Chains A and B, each alone.
Chain A
């Protein structure tokens, strides 16, 4: 058994599966020479005339261009340039209907010929054999050559494949009825076509070169035989005419017995197919250095007076061609670009000729059967017999009509080449191809949507994964940090910078206070360190500021700090509390300061509570950003007040209860008790301080009860006043609340500038209040004195 290659070499022909025999109708133009078409008034050049991407525009409206001058340059991807078909002026660049079954508008360049036919500089090159394949490929690319047979695939891509090419096949089949463009070209320029073949052969170096032509073109066959007389490396294969032998895949099967895999390209089986028109263009580009600016167009049909084969400049409107050949449109005239089987009708004649336009067909009425109403499919199977791809068109129709796209794909609708053989033979005149086109378009859309959905899904999942990862990393980081801190705490001399610094500052302050008070502050500092655990950054700063204040207060306190300091629940503000318990006049100042600070704390809490009036005053709030902000503001206000109060105490020894009494006149009764207590306090015993504390606690409880009822939701001045009361008491009664504050303050750290501003305003308000308070305090100063 001979190998396939040997069989091919011996000239075996594999008959086309299926196919039809529509009347050829080529006699009108088949013997006619190619006549150059005169310059039209305007050329309309679509920027994209092939499969792939359009080029980048190089000229603009008003530019003078020379014949053969590139008008666009290829961008990356499947891209080809276009060239000026003649010399002239660029009028405009705008969207215009192009050669497309739906006559879509695409950007077109309008060129007004000047009639000079002035060429750009050319460098003809007779001996291309010495050139590298790369150079030849780039030459073919720069000449803008796309397949002239039908699909318009950029020729350079086909030829630049690195794969081993077994067969180079030249498609001279021209199986469509009416069209004689290739045939007339072969008759005229067989020699040049052979040169074009040589150029491509030089690039891809095939094992065998085959020319395939149908047996109904005897003159073209003769011309090729003559041109090939002394060439034994190129084999001419003549086979019976049958539509669609000229389909690329069909021709490959006929000449080589091989099949292009479904969804693949001929190059996948080592085959390269070029149309004779393309090869002629290759010859022109390489040998004569002329880019692709014209092509042969068969103008035929009974509505045309003088059917002929014209050499037409690309961009020539069909209108000009028809009027040149004489056009007598009838009723319901069809003008078809391409052949009767695969061509498409034009809605009007302004559409320009492009690189793939091989025929303009204007049939008279009755010349080509009019499309009729489709009838029921009688399952005759004529379509399946006609199908060159051996599909089952009837089953595909059934599923296409039912919109069962999955089933149409199962019946390999994607392998349909839309040759129209099935619809041609269908006795019920069902426009099968149209159904398949629609189904294919739907499949494409569906696939695109699926791809997009898949893409979106992937992106979403990636994002979810990233977020989860980040959250995990954060948690891990926090865990590690927490562990570190814990370790640091455990070893007590540890390295947590913030806590350390905090501790250090506190220790220092405590030391200062202790020095003055002659008391050992070690335990307190130690305690501070332990409690400062959750404090970081801003909280530390806050604590520092407080410590400073406490120090101020402490400086004024000459007396000792009572043991209560240590016995009390230790908080980060412990040092500030210590002075509170200090006896005597100086002590009072300290107390005031402490109270003020406590107020600040409570104000923060209170602010929170203003948002939740029903909440318990001594309840530790979860950090809520909004209330945090307000709390911060309130804290700032309170702090400012505290500062004022501290200043005030310097001048006047005022009991905190007096301050309170002024601040909150609604608690007069309580205050009267307090006054007495205060009087006792001033007699300077530790016990008294304890009593005072107890009293204050009682007040706080009362106030808290009251306040739950009296809280308003806005931070009005009066509200602030009541708030100021409550915090103090709360502070006294539930010191641990302050601890709960600490993380809140931490949360406040990222306060924005706006918040800072607010805080400043609040501070100003607070200052004003403090001033008021001071006045009131002065007045009240006398009262306890009197009472005393």
Chain B
């Protein structure tokens, strides 16, 4: 009788890539719910659109590359990219923004570089930055949280605005964003930035209605929800602590130092940690294993770099939030970081960095 021949090890941890990807997707759910609650169904629609586009684009490129479509779609990596991009977009951005961004992320940023595992940049963030640079108007149409809206926003309204630019009642996004006084409301980060530029102190600015206890109204809850998801990822060992912790630590430290120096000119550590895309970026985006550093020491350097960049761009850059830029810039540094942070190999002298 002859038996099956296999190469050792004959055992496996059964923690496979599709499972890993699905875990991350599940961990996004609290954040998505929070988004839905505070900003309407816009992001849900974008996520759906993005997923559809991502699967189509991925299948198209896979067939062109003569790879197994079923096997590669089954790894959920394209879906995860689409979901992350869908979460990141302004809730009422036009539909083609999503489609264009996702197609760019999947076809150019991911597949043209060799598919899963070969892309040097985070596809979702590269797509986001492409959109932000190319379509700044559409990409900055952020809605204030629902409680601040003067006009009610239903699911169908969101859907209509995304596809036609106007709600069922015929309101445009600009109208939706205006408060009772007719003044356009921006995101907390944007508001603070503009106010500081106008010579207001941070305290004065943060007394405006878009702000709340921790940061902005709604935004703090969204961030808390993503933090929850992130903790779940850590607990499920889907990600390691190095990147999120070093991002949050670096960002908080920078904000704290700036706050100590000039309390009137900055929002403070807590404001930064719970504003914008901080938690989403720290736990879901920067931890994308493909484009992040692969050594533990490298991950910490990678995280700190992102944290510092986020603070610097938020405070001094032209854009209110900075996660996409920070992540992409750090992605560029990864090969160098990896090269310089090789662990000491067993049996090699400590100072040789593992080189023999």
Task: Select which of A363, A371, A384 is within 8 A of B294 by beta carbon.
Answer: A384
Q: Does A495 make an interface contact (CB < 8 A)? A: no
The 8 A CB mask of A323-356 against B (1 = contact, 0 = none) is 0000001001111101011111111110000000
Within 8 A of B (CB), among A423-477: 423-425, 427-429, 431, 433-434, 437
A385 to B343, CA, bound (A): 10
Residue of B nearest to A336 (CB): B10
A379 and B9 contact, Cβ closer than 8 Å, known pairs A333-B4, A427-B19? no
Task: Select which of B6, B10, B71, B355 is within 8 A of A375 by beta carbon.
Answer: B71
Tell me the smallest distance from the CB of B298 to a CB of chain A, in Å: 9
Tell me the smallest distance from the CB of A9 to a CB of chain B, in Å: 23
Query: Which has the most chain A C-beta neighbours within 10 Å: B290, B345, B346, B348?
Result: B346
Residues of A within 8 A of B8 (CB): 338, 340-344, 418, 420, 433
A378 and B289 contact, Cβ closer than 8 Å, known pairs A335-B3, A345-B3, A412-B345? yes
Residues of A within 8 A of B7 (CB): 101, 371, 431, 433-434, 437
A177 to B289, CA, bound (A): 30
Say yes or no: A376 contacts B3, CB within 8 Å: no
Say yes or no: B16 contacts A429, CB within 8 Å: yes
Tell me the smallest distance from the CB of A44 to a CB of chain B, in Å: 17
Say yes or no: A347 contacts B3, CB within 8 Å: yes
Say yes or no: B117 contacts A334, CB within 8 Å: no
Say yes or no: B356 contacts A262, CB within 8 Å: yes
A384 and B9 contact, Cβ closer than 8 Å, known pairs A333-B4, A427-B17? no
Task: Select which of A262, A380, A381 is within 8 A of B345 by beta carbon.
Answer: A262
Say yes or no: A334 contacts B16, CB within 8 Å: no
Say yes or no: B346 contacts A388, CB within 8 Å: yes
Q: Does A392 make an interface contact (CB < 8 A)? A: yes
Q: Does A253 make an interface contact (CB < 8 A)? A: yes
Residues of A within 8 A of B17 (CB): 375-376, 378, 427-428
The 8 A CB mask of B298-325 against A (1 = contact, 0 = none) is 0000000000000000000000000000
A384 and B12 contact, Cβ closer than 8 Å, known pairs A347-B2, A376-B117? no
The 8 A CB mask of A253-269 against B (1 = contact, 0 = none) is 10000011111100000
Q: Does A377 make an interface contact (CB < 8 A)? A: yes
Q: Does A20 make an interface contact (CB < 8 A)? A: yes
Say yes or no: A390 contacts B20, CB within 8 Å: no
Task: Select which of A261, A341, A378, A434 is within 8 A of B117 by beta carbon.
Answer: A378
Interface of A is mostly: loop
Say yes or no: A380 contacts B346, CB within 8 Å: no
A654 to B355, CA, bound (A): 100
Q: Does B218 make an interface contact (CB < 8 A)? A: no
Q: Does B295 make an interface contact (CB < 8 A)? A: yes
Q: Does B344 make an interface contact (CB < 8 A)? A: yes
Say yes or no: B10 contacts A368, CB within 8 Å: yes
Residues of B within 8 A of A263 (CB): 347
A347 to B6, CA, bound (A): 10
Say yes or no: B117 contacts A377, CB within 8 Å: yes
A378 and B290 contact, Cβ closer than 8 Å, known pairs A340-B11, A348-B1? yes
Residues of B within 8 A of A380 (CB): 20, 289
The 8 A CB mask of B12-35 against A (1 = contact, 0 = none) is 111111011000000000000000
A260 and B347 contact, Cβ closer than 8 Å, known pairs A378-B116, A381-B289? yes
A253 to B72, CA, bound (A): 41
Task: Select which of A249, A423, A434 is within 8 A of B347 by beta carbon.
Answer: A249
Q: Does A648 make an interface contact (CB < 8 A)? A: no
Say yes or no: A368 contacts B16, CB within 8 Å: no
Tell me the smallest distance from the CB of B199 to a CB of chain A, in Å: 47
Say yes or no: B19 contacts A415, CB within 8 Å: no
Q: Does A17 make an interface contact (CB < 8 A)? A: yes
A341 to B6, CA, bound (A): 11
Tell me the smallest distance from the CB of A746 to a CB of chain B, in Å: 64
Tell me the smallest distance from the CB of A433 to a CB of chain B, in Å: 6
Residue of B nearest to A103 (CB): B5
A434 to B72, CA, bound (A): 23
Residues of B within 8 A of A394 (CB): 294
Task: Select which of B3, B6, B9 is within 8 A of A342 by beta carbon.
Answer: B9
Task: Select which of B11, B117, B290, B342 is within 8 A of A392 by beta carbon.
Answer: B342
Residue of A nearest to B14 (CB): A369
Task: Select which of B11, B116, B355 is within 8 A of A177 by beta carbon.
Answer: B11
Q: Does A698 make an interface contact (CB < 8 A)? A: no
Say yes or no: B10 contacts A341, CB within 8 Å: yes
Q: Does A99 make an interface contact (CB < 8 A)? A: no
Residue of B nearest to A437 (CB): B7
Interface of B is mostly: loop
Residues of A within 8 A of B253 (CB): none
Say yes or no: B16 contacts A412, CB within 8 Å: no
A376 to B119, CA, bound (A): 12
Within 8 A of A (CB), among B120-171: none
Within 8 A of B (CB), among A387-402: 388-392, 394-395
Residue of B nearest to A327 (CB): B1
A375 to B62, CA, bound (A): 14
A226 to B2, CA, bound (A): 45
Residues of A within 8 A of B289 (CB): 378-381
Tell me the smallest distance from the CB of A636 to a CB of chain B, in Å: 74
Say yes or no: B9 contacts A433, CB within 8 Å: yes
Residues of A within 8 A of B240 (CB): 381, 385
A412 and B20 contact, Cβ closer than 8 Å, known pairs A344-B8, A429-B12? no
Q: Does B77 make an interface contact (CB < 8 A)? A: yes
Say yes or no: B5 contacts A347, CB within 8 Å: yes
Residues of B within 8 A of A229 (CB): none
Residues of A within 8 A of B209 (CB): none
Residues of A within 8 A of B15 (CB): 382, 425, 427
Say yes or no: B295 contacts A392, CB within 8 Å: yes
A262 and B9 contact, Cβ closer than 8 Å, known pairs A348-B3, A349-B1? no
Residue of A nearest to B15 (CB): A427
Say yes or no: A381 contacts B344, CB within 8 Å: no
Residues of A within 8 A of B14 (CB): 369
Q: Does A22 make an interface contact (CB < 8 A)? A: yes
Tell me the smallest distance from the CB of B4 to a CB of chain A, in Å: 5
Residues of A within 8 A of B344 (CB): 390
Residues of A within 8 A of B338 (CB): 395
A20 to B10, CA, bound (A): 14
Residue of B nearest to A343 (CB): B8
Q: Does A410 make an interface contact (CB < 8 A)? A: yes
Say yes or no: B10 contacts A410, CB within 8 Å: no
A411 to B3, CA, bound (A): 35
Q: Does B296 make an interface contact (CB < 8 A)? A: yes
A101 to B355, CA, bound (A): 31
A410 and B345 contact, Cβ closer than 8 Å, known pairs A22-B13, A332-B4, A392-B294? no
A424 to B13, CA, bound (A): 6
Residues of A within 8 A of B19 (CB): 427
Q: Does A233 make an interface contact (CB < 8 A)? A: no
Q: Does B264 make an interface contact (CB < 8 A)? A: no
Query: Which has the most chain A C-beta neighbours within 10 Å: B12, B20, B71?
Result: B12
Say yes or no: A415 contacts B345, CB within 8 Å: yes
Residues of A within 8 A of B346 (CB): 17, 249, 253, 259-260, 262, 388-390, 415
A693 to B261, CA, bound (A): 129
Residue of A nearest to B287 (CB): A380
A363 to B14, CA, bound (A): 17
Residues of B within 8 A of A429 (CB): 12, 16
Interface of B toward A, CB cutoff 8 Å: 1-17, 19-20, 71-72, 75, 77, 115-118, 240, 289-290, 292, 294-296, 338, 342-348, 354-356
Contacts A375-B116, A392-B354, A424-B12 known; list 4 others, CB within 8 Å. Answer: A343-B10, A394-B294, A415-B348, A428-B17
Would you give 7 A-B contacts (Cβ < 8 Å), ordered by A? Answer: A345-B4, A373-B71, A378-B20, A379-B294, A394-B294, A411-B354, A433-B9
Interface of A toward B, CB cutoff 8 Å: 17, 20, 22, 101, 177, 249, 253, 259-264, 329, 332-336, 338, 340-349, 363, 368-369, 371, 373, 375-382, 384-385, 388-392, 394-395, 409-412, 415, 418, 420-421, 423-425, 427-429, 431, 433-434, 437
The 6 closest A-B pairs by CB, nearest first: A420-B9, A262-B347, A380-B289, A340-B11, A376-B117, A389-B346
